[in-house]
């Protein structure tokens, strides 16, 4: 397998999941929390826009096997938390995100 590096932090991607699959997981998380559909769509679009760039990686996503992988989970989660904070999501929901996705956002 060819090694892929995150387009943002340049670290090796050890869990190759594409942006579309990560966003699908975030949408499910929003649904589980009964987040308003309009807000959910807006937030997901903001995340997608922030991560919309080309990659030279040739590694396909391990979930859908269709899309190339361009960012690591840490960078995806960092940007997602950053956007959630910009949208004034309560800290309790950000903590829920952290627990649900096993992401440590302390100090970010």
Taking only the tens place, the pLDDT of each residue in 23-69 is: 999 999 999 998 888 999 999 999 999 988 777 777 889 999 988 88
Q: How many domains does the chain have?
A: 1
Q: Is residue 12 part of a domain?
A: no
Q: Is residue 55 part of a domain?
A: yes
Name the pTM for this structure. Answer: 0.85
Q: Is residue 33 part of a domain?
A: yes
Residue numbers of the domain that contains 71: 19-101
**Exposed/middle/buried for residue 36 (C-beta within 10 Å: 0-12, 13-18, 19+):** exposed
Q: Is residue 75 part of a domain?
A: yes
Mean pLDDT of 71-83: 92
Is the Cβ–Cβ distance between 68 and 18 less than 8 Å?
yes
Q: Is residue 54 part of a domain?
A: yes
Please say if the pLDDT value at position 104 is more than 80: no
Is the Cβ–Cβ distance between 61 and 82 less than 8 Å?
no
Q: Is residue 13 part of a domain?
A: no
Task: Name, in order, each residue with C-beta under 8 angstroms of 79's C-beta and a sequence gap of 6 or more.
Answer: 47, 50, 51
Alpha carbons 83 and 2: distance in angstroms, whole number: 31
């Amino acid at each position: 397998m060819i090694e892929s590096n995150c387009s943002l932090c340049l670290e090796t991607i050890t869990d190759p999941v594409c942006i579309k699959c990560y966003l699908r997981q975030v949408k499910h998380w929003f649904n589980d929390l009964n987040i308003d559909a309009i807000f959910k769509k807006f937030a997901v679009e903001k995340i997608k826009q922030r991560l919309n760039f080309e990659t030279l990686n040739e590694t396909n996503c391990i979930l859908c096997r269709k899309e190339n992988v361009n960012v690591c989970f840490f960078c995806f989660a960092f940007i997602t938390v950053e956007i959630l904070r910009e949208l004034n999501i309560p800290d309790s929901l950000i903590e829920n995100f952290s627990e649900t996705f096993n992401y440590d956002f302390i100090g970010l």
